Structure 1
C-alpha cells in the first residue's frame, strides 16, 4: 500500500499588500523578537525595509542579519546561527529569494536542534527532533517557492558541491506571497526564477512520486506560469501577481513528491561555477524533458495542453511529446535563457566530476527515467 503525505504552511497570505499581515501574525503568536534574515541588496534597494517598517510601526523588536549571498554556504548558516543566538530571537522573518529563506530554514533548525550545528549533517532527510524556530517567510522572487517547501539547499565550499536538506520541521509557519515585493526584480532574475518555477512544476508532475493531488497542483502551475512569464519579465504587475501564485502552487506539489534530473544536474553547476540556480535549471529543462519523454505516458500531452499548444489534444503521442519540449524551449528563448552550458562557464574537463556529483544528488533518483553517470556525461556534453 502506498501512503502519500502532504505538508503545507500553517497559514499563507496572497495578493498585493499581503505583507501587512506580518505584524499581526507575530503578535497573535506571542513572538517577542525577530531575527530578520535578508541580503544587503534587498535592504539597499528598500525592498526588505517594506517589511521592517511594518515591524517598526507595530513596535516589534528585531535585529537584522544581512550576510546572505547567492548559493549560501555552511559558513553563512553558522554566522546566522550566531547572530540569532546573540539577538535572543524567538522567531525569524526571512525576506528574499531562495537564498535568504533557505538560510533561515537552516538557522531555525540548528537553533532548536543544536546537534546539527555542523550544518552538513542536515543533508538529505535529517532526523531532527524539534520544529525549527518559527519562520515567517516573505518571498521576493517568483520562482523558488522556498516559503512553502520542506527543502533547502546549502553549498559545501570545501568539497565544491551543493547538498539538499529535506526536513518537515523546516517549513515556514506563515508565508506572505505579495507581488509588490517582487516588482523590483530585474528582467534576468524574473526570467530565471520563473523558469525555475516551471521546472518545479514539470519535474514534480513527472517524478516517480507524483500522485493525483500533486498532479492537480503541478498542471495548474504549468498553465499559470507558461502564460504569465513573458509578461512578468516585461514588468507587468498583473503577470507578476500570477507568477507569485503559480510558483507557490508548484511548491505545494514538488515539496511533497520530489524533483528529478534537471535539479540533480543543476545543483553541481551552481556549486562549481556559482551559476544562479534558476538559470542552470532553465538551461537544462528542455534537454532533460527530451531525455525523459518516452517514460512519461500521456503527461507531456497534458503539459502541452496546459501551455496552449495548438492541436495538442489530438496529436500522436510522439508528436505531442516533442511539441511540449519545444514549447518549453521556446519560452526559455523568449525570456532570454542561455541555450548552452558553455555560456554558464562549464568546461569539458570538469564534466566527469560534475556528472558524478549530479548522479549522487538527492533529486536525481526521482527522475522518471533512471540515468547512469555515462548518460549524464553525454547530456552535459551535448549542451557545451
Structure 2
C-alpha cells in the first residue's frame, strides 16, 4: 500500500512571518483578497496586523467577518456570495480553525460550483479543481487547519458537525507567526493547545499511522508537552513552541486521520456548542484509556514525549497509565474542566450515534460501538 503525504506548497515560520504575505501575493500576481476573519479579531486589532501590510503594499482587499466559532452552512453560503460580488481572486484566512475552515469551504465551492450544496462536501468529496488560492494565517495554536486537507462545518438544523476531507482545499501558503497568537486569552490558548495534543496523540495511534507520520506526531507531543503551560502564561518561548508544535501535528494527522476523541468532540460541539479544544481535552484521557490495549508499545513513547521519566523500567500497564495520567494532568494544569454538566442521559443515544457516524471514528485504533461511545460520554457527565 502506498502512503500519501500532502503539505503546503510554502510555509513561513517565526516572528514577523506575516510580512511575507505581501511578497507571496505579489509573486503570484494576485489582484484582490477576500480576507476572512472573525469579529473579535477585527475588534481587537489582530486582523489589522495583516491588512496594514496589504495597505502598505497597495494590495486590494475586502473583509468578510460573518464567521462563528463553529462555522455554519449559512456562514459558508454567505461567504460564497460575498466572494462572488467582491471580485477577489484569492483568500486570506486570519484566525483559528473557524476562519480557515470557512475559507476552505468558500474556496472549494467557488472552484467547484457543482458542490454549492454545502452538505454535499461531507466526507471525501469528488471535487475536480483546487480551491481558490488561500493564504492561511493562524491566530491560535491548535487546529493546524493551515496545513491540513480537512475542514469542519456545523449543520445547525441537524445538530451535527460534518468533516470534509479534500486534497483540493489545502492553503497554498501558511504563515505561522507566533506574534499573531500573542493576544490569545488563557482559556483559548489552553483549549486550542489541547486540541493540538489530541491531534498528535490520535494521529500517532490511528490505524493509518506509519513511520513518517509517527515522526511528526512524537515530536509534536514533545513540543506541546513542554510548551503549553508556558504559552498559557503568555511567555514568548511557550508561544513559539506551540506555534511550531501544532503545525507539526497537522503535518501528520492530516495525512492519516484521527479517532473517536475527535468524533465525540465534534458531536459535543454541535449539540452544546462546546469549544472544540475543551471537548477534545475532556475526551482524550478517557479515549486513551479505552484504546490502550490496542496500541502496542506506543504509550511508552507518548509517556516519554510527555516528559515522564523512567519509562523503560516500567511494565506495559505502568507506562500506559503514565501516558494517560500525564495527558490528564496537563489538561488540569491549564484549566480545562473534566465534566460537562450539559449532558443528560436522554441525550446519550443521539450523541453516541452521531459520534459513531463521524468521519474520524473509523480511524480509531479500537473499533467502538454505539454502546461503547455512550459509556465513554457518561464518563464526562
Q: TM-score range by the shorter chain?
A: over 0.9
Conserved? CA contact 2:4–2:255, under 8 Å: yes
Counterpart in 2 of 1:111?
A: 110
Runs of 4+ with deviation above 6 angstroms: none
Task: Give the equivalent residue in structure 2 for 1:358.
Answer: 355
- Normalising by structure 1, report the TM-score: 0.99
What's the TM-score once normalised by structure 2's chain length?
A: 0.99
Counterpart check, 1:213 vs 2:212:
yes
- Which residue number in structure 1 is paired with residue 186 of structure 2? 187
Contact kept, 8 Å, 1:139 with 1:147, in 2: the verdict is yes
SS of the residue corresponding to residue 124 of structure 1 reads coil
| Mapping 1:1-384, distance limit 5 Å | 2-342=1-341, 345-384=342-381
Give the drift of 1:347: 1.9
Where structure 2 has 5 or more consecutive residues not aligned to the other structure, the ranges are none
Q: Which residues of structure 1 form unaligned runs of 5+? A: none
Contact 1:341–1:380 (8 Å) recurs in 2? no
CA distance in 1, matches of 2:121, 2:156: 16
| RMSD (CA atoms) | 0.5
Deviation at 1:382, TM superposition (A): 2.2
Q: Which moved more, 1:347-356 or 1:201-210?
A: 347-356
Greater shift after overlay, 159-168 or 333-342?
Answer: 333-342
State the alpha-carbon separation in 2 of the partners of residues 314 and 29 from structure 1. Answer: 55
> When the two structures are aligned, how many residues end up with a matched partner?
381
SS of structure 1 residue aligned to 2:153: strand
SS in 2 for 1:153: strand
Distance in 2, matches of 1:259 and 1:333, equals: 23
Cα offsets for 1:118-156 (capped at 9, x unmatched): 110000001000000000000000000000000000001
User: Which whole-Å CA distance do the structure 1 matches of 2:291 and 2:58 have between them?
Assistant: 53
DSSP 3-state at the match of 2:313: coil
2:282–2:380 Cα contact (<8 Å) kept: no
Partner-residue secondary structure (3-state), 2:84: helix
Query: Distance in 1 between the 2:379 and 2:60 partners?
Result: 53
| Residues 54-79 of structure 1 deviation map (CA, whole Å, 9 limit, x = unaligned) | 00000000000010111100010000
Structure 1 SS opposite 2:98: helix
SS at match of 1:141: coil
Q: Distance in 1 between matches of 2:306 and 2:276?
A: 23
Question: Does the 8 A contact of 1:191 with 1:233 survive in 2?
Answer: yes
Write the distance in 2 (CA, Å) between the matches of 1:355 and 1:317: 30
Deviation for aligned residue 1:348: 1.9
Structure 1 SS opposite 2:46? coil
Q: Give, in whole Å, the separation in 2 of the partners of 1:49 and 1:221.
A: 30
